[in-house]
A = this chain, B = another copy of it.
Amino acid sequence: MNPYRIGLERDAANYAPLTPLTLLDWSAFTYPDHPSVIHGERRHTWGETYARCRRLGSALLRRGIGPGDTVAAMLPNVPAMYELHFGVAMAGAVLNTLNTRLDADTIAFMLKHAEAKVLFTDREFCATVAKALSALPAKPLVIDVDDPAFAGGEPLGEIEYETFLASGDGENVRAAPDDEWDAISLNYTSGTTGNPKGVVYHHRGAYLNAVGNALVWNMPRHAVYLWTLPMFHCNGWCFAWTTAAVAGTNVCLRKVEAAPVFDAIRRHRVTHYCGAPIVHNLLINAPADLRAGIEHTVHCLVAGAAPPAAVIEGMERMGFDLTHIYGLTETYGPAAVCAKRAAWESLELAQRAERNGRQGVRYPLEEGMCVMDPATMRPVPADGETMGEIMFRGNITMKGYLKNEQATREAFAGGWFHSGDLAVLQPDGYVKIKDRSKDVIISGGENVSSLEVEDALSRHPDVMVAAVVAMPDPKWGEVPCAFVELKEGAKTDAAEIIAFCRERLAHFKAPKAVVFGTLPKTSTGKIQKFVLREQAKGAQAIDT
């Protein structure tokens, strides 16, 4: 008989479902007059944001939206998008933020698969949305968010966002879900092959990653967060909820361009922002005068792809404090961090960049991360050599894939989430990705890590971005093919690039072909390797 298990049950007094809704409630109650959201000249306070979210929740309830219903959004980073992160949950419903750069067919697939009852949309995406809607047998309620900051496009809906908000009285909304395991959001994977999968987040995980982000990043009360990262991407890596936990200020941004980013940093004293390497690259390569007048330290997270050494070095030269995090849609965005160690500070820049560019260790609020052989489910030795698959387990691993038990079971085989990323474990316990399992190039029986080749390419002074994929080769089976985007005014050629790589890599790892041009990217800055793989089939190998 365990006396600690008798007469000590859950009660309304001592148990509450974990939910981001209590974080908003806290900020609004504690700092009602502090700025919550800034968009151009528009400003809201936490008191106002809370009231607006409640009105949104009650307006949805009046339209019959409730638990199990999906509310979709095709929106840039505007105040309405932020409010949807709380207002939809206040109606008990599930928020599905759509990647605004997807095509109409994919959007139609998602709206249909999620059975979206409502769609919030922006004039900018009217062509895609109109086409997607026309493909749906049952139309959702379409609500236009009419942002004066964008000129052009057509409204498509039956009601405008502010009018819709006014139809709610803010009453009878939920302060919490029935169960912390209930869904709060739905995020489709980018789905490079096959149909996208709908990743379901629950309140518990959203709450824990929101708080975990603040802990990992030492994010102080009233941090000023610039929305360079799309909120549609894993709910802005859960930062949509983190900013409420720290009563921060959300600075909205419709489009990432160097001048408006630096202007926002200067004007609003932005302290924190996130983005894929390409976002940081944009700032590094911008004219130095755009940065004039920024004296305070700006903290940045980079993820979405391993940051090349050039990005880490470039950020350091700008005086920005960059931290590398890693995760997937299935892990609520970031679930690992390349936690900096004091000893690295005295290293040479290149070595420091190498250390800081790794995927690192688990988030303190994710319970497990390791590199395992998926066949045996045994961890690889920490030798920096043996490849395995990165696996996660814990509270910031998804609830599962919507209406896809088979895929969920496969992803969770053996009680770990299989990331699909191939990595080694270094002697200090930090994980370093070698490749996506499908991106490995097998040349004459040898594995070539496309990342390793890309890293060599990115060190070339003329290279802005580079990607490497396999191209078919009659002799070796596959050989590396490089796609390169050059810096403005740069002059080089394929032979020179290949020679540069051969100085740094084993010959069989150096590209056999180089294609110059703009690289196809996803909305989050990830290079679309499946497009390149098609192109590589027709590329010309250079016989050197």
A binding-site residues for B, Cβ under 8 Å: 1-16, 18, 22-23, 26, 29-34, 67-68, 94, 115, 176, 181-183, 200, 205, 211, 214-215, 218, 220-222, 245-246, 339, 341-343, 361-362, 364-365, 367-368, 392-395, 397-400, 402-405, 408, 411-412, 415-417, 429
Contact = CB atoms under 8 A, between A and B. Distances in A.
Q: Most chain-B CB neighbours within 10 Å: which of A2, A4, A222, A404?
A: A4
Q: Most chain-B CB neighbours within 10 Å: which of A8, A11, A405, A429?
A: A8
A13 B417 contact: yes
Nearest to A363: B26
A16 B245 contact: no
A180 to B, nearest CB: 10
Contact of A214 (B32, B215, B405, B408): B215
Contacts of A11: 400, 412, 415
B29 A429 contact: yes
B399 A14 contact: yes
Nearest to A13: B412
Contacts of A417: 13-14
Contacts of A215: 211, 214-215, 245-246
Contact of A16 (B13, B182, B394): B394
A95 B397 CA distance: 31
Given A4-B94, A68-B5, A218-B220, A368 B26 contact: no
How many copies of the chain does the oligomer comprise?
2
A15 B29 CA distance: 31
Contacts of A5: 68, 182-183
A245 B363 CA distance: 11
A15 B395 contact: yes
A241 to B, nearest CB: 12
A183 B361 contact: no
Interface SS majority for chain A: loop
15 contacts: A1-B68, A3-B403, A7-B403, A7-B405, A7-B408, A8-B408, A12-B416, A13-B392, A14-B205, A16-B395, A26-B362, A26-B364, A31-B341, A215-B245, A221-B339
B3 A115 contact: yes
Contacts of A361: 26, 29-30
A364 B395 contact: no
Contacts of A222: 342
Nearest to A361: B30
Contacts of A362: 26, 29
Contact of A67 (B2, B34, B395): B2
A400 B7 contact: yes
Nearest to A339: B30
Given A7-B403, A8-B200, A14-B397, 10 more contacts: A4-B200, A8-B408, A13-B392, A13-B393, A14-B205, A14-B400, A14-B412, A15-B394, A16-B395, A214-B215
A91 to B, nearest CB: 14
Contact of A218 (B3, B221, B402): B221
A4 B183 contact: yes
Contacts of A67: 2
A391 to B, nearest CB: 8
Contacts of A115: 3
A362 B400 CA distance: 33
